Structure 1
Amino acid sequence: MSFQTPRSIEEMLTAIHKREYLMPAIQREFVWDADQITKLMDSLMRGYPVGSFLLWDVKPETAQSYTFYEFLTNYHERDNPYADKATVPAGSGTTAVLDGQQRLTSLNIALYGSFAEKKKYAWWNSADAFPVKRLYLNLVDAPDDEELGLKYDLCFLTDKEAAADDGAEDKWFRVGAVLGLDDSGPAIMDEVADRGISDYRTASRRLYDLYRAVRDFKPMNYFLVTDQDADKVLEIFVRVNSGGATLSYSDLLLSMATNQWKELDAREEVRSLVNEINSNAGRQFSFSKDIVLKTALTIADVDLRFKVTNFTQANMAKVEESWPQIKGALLRAATLLQQFGYNERNLTAHSVIIPIAYYLHLRDAGDSYLDSTANAADRLTLQRWITRSLIKRGIWGSGLDTLLLRIRDVLRANTTAEFPVAAVETAMTVVGKSLTFDKAEIDELLNLKYAGQRTFSVLSVLYPGLDLGKKFHEDHIFPKSRFTKKKLREVGIPAEKIEDYQGAVNLLPNLQLLAGTANIEKQDTLPADWVDTAFPSGEKRATYIAENDLDNLPLDLAGFTTFFEQRKQRIRARLITALGATPRPAATDEE
């Protein structure tokens, strides 16, 4: 390993675009966010060191034995989050980046590409959820956020956001455009003059700082590994990546599987399956490759813990051999979760899919299991277990591997064609993951709020007769829009009760699950009026009221608090029955 002559950012990125530098399959995916990219560029513009890089000189005879990837240029969180596989021509070698991939990819995006991440609260499948942005430098203003510690105002913006309004200074300079400047003198002066910026000196200085950082300075210090022993290179790679943004075991597993699988490309298979689980067939989830990989280890019946000692060639061979079954089981498990009404917003623990997939694999369940009448009772048992595990705090948190191993052992030992819920729950209790609820926990659930993490799961337990595979919304029985102070005063609610009304409107006793179309039609109609309109038949109206605990539904808001308290007690009784609540053990003298 030898130290090489430092290079400029421009020189390094030029080498990347000539495909002289590639990433070995043992590298993780790109994980940096927009703030990390801007901080890196700010540091370079200030002349700060940004760490050294480690490259591997891969000879032609070695290159043909491994998989390599190109550098990501246009990052899109949904549509293009991964680098493309590279082709190394026969008889050619390459230079692989062992350490510095995140920084080099960030610089490549900053200067040559774009960055598109999901807007907060936007739906994953929405057309405008991922605006395409490029890195811009503000030539006029200082950074707004002092907490970031930036000297320069660098920001990812859409081209429309960066465009100057009529009459305003054209202050946003696209960082990548610095590569097109002919020089650091007249070209910079002309650029600033053409933009009509009044503070000519500041703008010119900032643009000059960017030019020097990218094209003049040589901050890219790197070491070159020439050893062709793959095991030794892997050891160097793991040690180098033990600090900073640490390489996760799942990344390492995926990387090693990519090199060890004989017929399939592990990285491509996992990527494809993650996308299919999350967004195909109407599904809307956000499962990660970690979940897919842990499920793969579980179904392959090897140690499911992410430990380096488990990444053996024999274990990887088992995973590859089982891949068709792993893929089918995960897709069916995701579809089941969808049928149970779950999506990316209300599925609070992604790990729950692992035992579901393993169970479906063990019973060799095909697509018919998902909707056949013969399996309806088993699906209901599975749904109730899943829901209770999501409602109970702490089930899928710490100690996850131990829990999954226990559940796998029970499912493997099961000799019936039904989900062994009693045996599973006994095994869970042994490791401190009991699904028993005491009455204090039930009372806590009664205070769940609209759109809370566990609210959907609790409502689905309360009212199990709904076909949750269809689109259901969490709905306010008494519309929230009527609970402003002004509207409450207008209907005669005493001032001293307004706070009580507003504190209760978002709580569980005022919530129900309502079909999407019905929820839209209901809007801000009072519940008694809507029920009369939606269910003109007295029999259907009575059934709906009984099934949703809407007895004694008042005609106006004056009776809201009484209705709320009565429904709260009815819901409490339902939860005690549904969740099997027990009294909390009495405190001992020692406590």
Structure 2
Amino acid sequence: MAFQTPITITSAVEKIHRRDYVLPAIQREFVWSRDKITRLFDSLMRGYPIGSFLMWQVDEDNAGRFTFYDFMRDYHERDNAHCAPTGPLGNRAVTAILDGQQRLTALNIGLCGSFTAKLPRMWANNPLAYPKKQLYLNLLHRGQDGDLGVEYDFRFLAPEEALTDNGGGAAHWYRVQDIRDVRTAGDLIRALRHHGVADNDTAGDVLTRLHEVVHVIPTVNFFLEEAQELDKVLNIFIRVNSGGTVLSYSDLLLSVATAQWVERDARESIHRLVDELNDVGQGFAFSKDLILKAGLVLLGKGDIRFKVDNFDRATMADLEKHWADIERSLRLAVVLLADFGFSRVTLTANSVVIPLAYYLHRRGLEDGCRTSDAFRDDRAAIRRWLQRSLMKSGVWGSGLDRLLTGLRATLEKEGGQGWPAEAVEREMARQGKSLRFEPTEIEDLLDLTYGSKRLFPMLAMLYPGVDTRDHFHEDHIFPRSVLRSRVRLRKAGLPEDKLPLIEDCADRAANLQLLRGPENISKQAHLPATWLQEHFQSTAERESWLREYDATGLPEDVTGFLEFYEARRTRMRHRLMNLLEVATGSEQVAGTPDASQTVPDDGPDPGNEGL
């Protein structure tokens, strides 16, 4: 990046009109008010610095890959509030403005265009509510304005307003864009005569100063970035635009997408989809980052890293073309997650939805797969894979892009007629993301505490009898309010040295269960034996529930809690080890690669934060 020779405002405006200067899609809309524009011109007239500009020289090879926008010239609050795309620029280099859009646009409007805003207290559909106004300068005023803090009186006026005081009163309004035709001293004198103020010293000084500011003084100071690495440019843009609302990487990539789409508004489509997905079931916390990443995966792009090079014109056109199918697959994937009981509270990794959506997308599956008998085994296999991958620590952390790419390749090769569970697990193991569990990991799972996101997939695997499509709760078998009350524990006759251990066990897995919402509400803070007696009509029903949830031997009161806790924990361990096919001792589970066969973890992938 190098500091360039400053240029005049005239030169900068001419470059805007020749489309040598353009706006990249990552730029936001023009947001300055009329007051900010007039203050900018006052600062220029007073010789105040207006800051440097940052520009990016885009080579002809790169320029054709992206959509660029024209600068705003005639702003209209209702009818023309957005910059228009330039259209094809031919095979030529352009200069994209990374920092300084608002200032350059203000100069363009003041010197060449207009600013139209709605008048107060008038209906928006009234044509008279939007008078077109241009920038004028009062040639008869120069001095500090105590109220506004300006020295030169710039205002946006309609032509009839500008004529009001031009008969020799306290103001004489000069249309600022006319200064573009004043190039020489002779032009200056003729302009003063034309306005009838040739003998007024103040008018001469003011108009001469405007001429110097626009045509003579090299006011536009700028740095020029010549590197063509788009990620570098994007990071520069984020840095220099972080003085106000900090821009995120995905915000900028979304702006790029918005610029490339033709039939749809990418920003609106993606934001709407995020809101809809997050409203499914008990609610999720997906982000636009995840949607953009999913788009790259479902499109089959070889490089799915979160970088601007992967969001070029061709990719965005492809994304728009297939958007309806991608939307449908993501919706179905999220609905299936909700059917399996996952939500923002229980989903440990949002990225798990991406391979699931790819599988549904590739097979062209519809909503019927949620309930059809033909898809029953598939649902069971997917649910089991989800549970295991979300119970296991570190699967969806670092190396995410490589994992998603490998899973996509496996699903493309193997997933023609059903979820290829074995092939998927082999690929994950190859990447050091094995879903095989060690005995020590089982102990860690059994020590999970209430509120842990890994707790739900374990309980759902252990006790599949709860319909997770219905509203359900994770709740305590023995009420927390009882186990955490030393007063009640002492009153029950428990020894003092047991109280800390009871408190510690209160929130751990062996004292937790899944209950349907209505059941949990009815249970409230009852002791479990009392609740069972009230909830089930027969002894057979109670005993069936106790066996199903590893709760046999349930004591009548809290004095038998620790013995019950240890017995249930042991039963849970055996059940979990059987379900997960955990090898014990020196036994090697068939199909599990040794360390030499796994792919080393290369650390977090850039751009995956928030996924």
* TM-score, normalised via structure 2 length: 0.60
The DSSP-based 3-state class of the residue aligned with 1:385 is: helix
Match of 2:26 in 1: 26
Match of 2:496 in 1: 495
Superposed CA deviations along residues 250-289 of structure 1, whole A, max 9, x for unmatched, are 444322222222322222221111111112x545111011
CA distance in 2, matches of 1:499, 1:90: 68
Superposed CA deviations along residues 381-432 of structure 1, whole A, max 9, x for unmatched, are 1011011101100000000111111100010012542100100000110010
CA distance in 2, matches of 1:223, 1:561: 77
Specify the code of the residue in structure 2 equivalent to 1:522.
Answer: K
CA distance in 2, matches of 1:23, 1:523: 61
The DSSP-based 3-state class of the residue aligned with 1:290 is: helix
Superposed CA deviations along residues 75-128 of structure 1, whole A, max 9, x for unmatched, are xxxxxxxxxx9434899xxxx9844999xxxxxxxxxxxxxxxxxxxxxxxxxx
CA distance in 2, matches of 1:339, 1:410: 25
CA distance in 1, matches of 2:393, 2:50: 42
Match of 2:335 in 1: 335
Superposed CA deviations along residues 280-310 of structure 1, whole A, max 9, x for unmatched, are x545111011110111111111132223432
Determine which of 235, 238, 242 is the counterpart of 2:234.
238
The DSSP-based 3-state class of the residue aligned with 1:514 is: strand
Match of 2:525 in 1: 524
Q: Retained in 2: the 8 A contact 1:477–1:510?
A: yes
The DSSP-based 3-state class of the residue aligned with 1:580 is: coil
Q: Retained in 2: the 8 A contact 1:67–1:258?
A: no
Unaligned runs of 5+ in 1: 6-21, 30-48, 57-61, 70-84, 103-180, 185-221, 587-591
Specify the code of the residue in structure 2 equivalent to 1:66.
Answer: Y
Gap change, CA 1:99 and 1:226, over 3 Å in 2: closer
Match of 1:13 in 2: none
Match of 2:464 in 1: 464
RMSD over aligned Cα, in angstroms?
4.1
How far does residue 359 in structure 1 lie from its aligned partner after superposition? 0.5
Specify the code of the residue in structure 1 equivalent to 2:455.
Answer: T
Gap change, CA 1:524 and 1:23, over 3 Å in 2: farther
Give the alignment of 1:385-424 within 5 angstroms. 385-414=385-414, 416-424=416-424
Q: Retained in 1: the 8 A contact 2:69–2:85?
A: no
Identity, % of aligned pairs? 44
Match of 2:293 in 1: 294
Give the alignment of 1:7-156 within 5 angstroms. 25-27=25-27, 66=69, 86-88=81-83, 98-99=98-99
- More moved, 506-515 vs 248-257: 248-257
The DSSP-based 3-state class of the residue aligned with 2:525 is: coil
CA distance in 2, matches of 1:475, 1:332: 29
How far does residue 377 in structure 1 lie from its aligned partner after superposition? 2.0
Q: Retained in 1: the 8 A contact 2:471–2:516?
A: yes
Give the alignment of 1:379-390 within 5 angstroms. 379-390=379-390
The DSSP-based 3-state class of the residue aligned with 1:319 is: helix
Q: Retained in 2: the 8 A contact 1:411–1:424?
A: yes
Gap change, CA 1:543 and 1:315, over 3 Å in 2: same
Match of 2:506 in 1: 505
Gap change, CA 1:26 and 1:242, over 3 Å in 2: closer
Give the alignment of 1:349-364 within 5 angstroms. 349-364=349-364
CA distance in 1, matches of 2:380, 2:70: 45
Gap change, CA 1:230 and 1:285, over 3 Å in 2: farther
CA distance in 1, matches of 2:546, 2:423: 37
The DSSP-based 3-state class of the residue aligned with 1:581 is: coil
CA distance in 2, matches of 1:525, 1:350: 36
- More moved, 296-305 vs 386-395: 296-305
Specify the code of the residue in structure 2 equivalent to 1:428.
Answer: M
CA distance in 2, matches of 1:338, 1:52: 52
How far does residue 315 in structure 1 lie from its aligned partner after superposition? 2.2
Specify the code of the residue in structure 2 equivalent to 1:385.
Answer: W
Q: Retained in 2: the 8 A contact 1:407–1:424?
A: yes
2:277 pairs with 1:277: yes
Superposed CA deviations along residues 197-244 of structure 1, whole A, max 9, x for unmatched, are xxxxxxxxxxxxxxxxxxxxxxxxx977799x9998979952523647
Q: Retained in 2: the 8 A contact 1:446–1:507?
A: yes
CA distance in 1, matches of 2:452, 2:331: 27
CA distance in 1, matches of 2:236, 2:496: 65
Give the alignment of 1:496-575 within 5 angstroms. 496-575=497-576
CA distance in 1, matches of 2:337, 2:24: 36
Superposed CA deviations along residues 315-366 of structure 1, whole A, max 9, x for unmatched, are 2222222111110000111111111111112211010000010011011111
Match of 1:452 in 2: 452
How far does residue 378 in structure 1 lie from its aligned partner after superposition? 1.0
CA distance in 2, matches of 1:247, 1:65: 19
Gap change, CA 1:370 and 1:90, over 3 Å in 2: closer
Q: Retained in 1: the 8 A contact 2:23–2:69?
A: no
Match of 2:181 in 1: none
- More moved, 299-308 vs 377-386: 299-308
CA distance in 1, matches of 2:366, 2:71: 36
Specify the code of the residue in structure 1 equivalent to 2:554.
Answer: L
CA distance in 1, matches of 2:70, 2:335: 33
Q: How many residues align?
A: 415
Specify the code of the residue in structure 1 equivalent to 2:576.
Answer: L
Superposed CA deviations along residues 482-504 of structure 1, whole A, max 9, x for unmatched, are 12111101111111111111111
CA distance in 1, matches of 2:344, 2:100: 32
How far does residue 55 in structure 1 lie from its aligned partner after superposition? 8.6
How far does residue 53 in structure 1 lie from its aligned partner after superposition? 6.9
Q: Retained in 1: the 8 A contact 2:52–2:221?
A: no
Q: Retained in 2: the 8 A contact 1:476–1:510?
A: yes
Specify the code of the residue in structure 2 equivalent to 1:261.
Answer: W
CA distance in 2, matches of 1:429, 1:278: 31
Gap change, CA 1:555 and 1:269, over 3 Å in 2: same
CA distance in 1, matches of 2:266, 2:387: 32
Superposed CA deviations along residues 431-459 of structure 1, whole A, max 9, x for unmatched, are 10000001010011111001112111211
Superposed CA deviations along residues 482-540 of structure 1, whole A, max 9, x for unmatched, are 12111101111111111111111111000000111111111110101101110112222
The DSSP-based 3-state class of the residue aligned with 2:530 is: helix
How far does residue 472 in structure 1 lie from its aligned partner after superposition? 1.1
The DSSP-based 3-state class of the residue aligned with 1:241 is: helix
Gap change, CA 1:259 and 1:223, over 3 Å in 2: farther
The DSSP-based 3-state class of the residue aligned with 1:571 is: helix
CA distance in 2, matches of 1:576, 1:415: 28
Unaligned runs of 5+ in 2: 9-21, 30-48, 57-63, 73-79, 87-95, 103-145, 150-218, 588-611
Gap change, CA 1:443 and 1:53, over 3 Å in 2: farther
Specify the code of the residue in structure 2 equivalent to 1:290.
Answer: D
Match of 1:146 in 2: none
CA distance in 1, matches of 2:557, 2:370: 43
CA distance in 1, matches of 2:71, 2:353: 31
Match of 2:169 in 1: none
How far does residue 541 in structure 1 lie from its aligned partner after superposition? 1.5
Gap change, CA 1:50 and 1:519, over 3 Å in 2: farther
Match of 1:473 in 2: 473
Specify the code of the residue in structure 2 equivalent to 1:494.
Answer: P
CA distance in 2, matches of 1:339, 1:231: 49
CA distance in 2, matches of 1:429, 1:467: 31
CA distance in 2, matches of 1:426, 1:372: 28
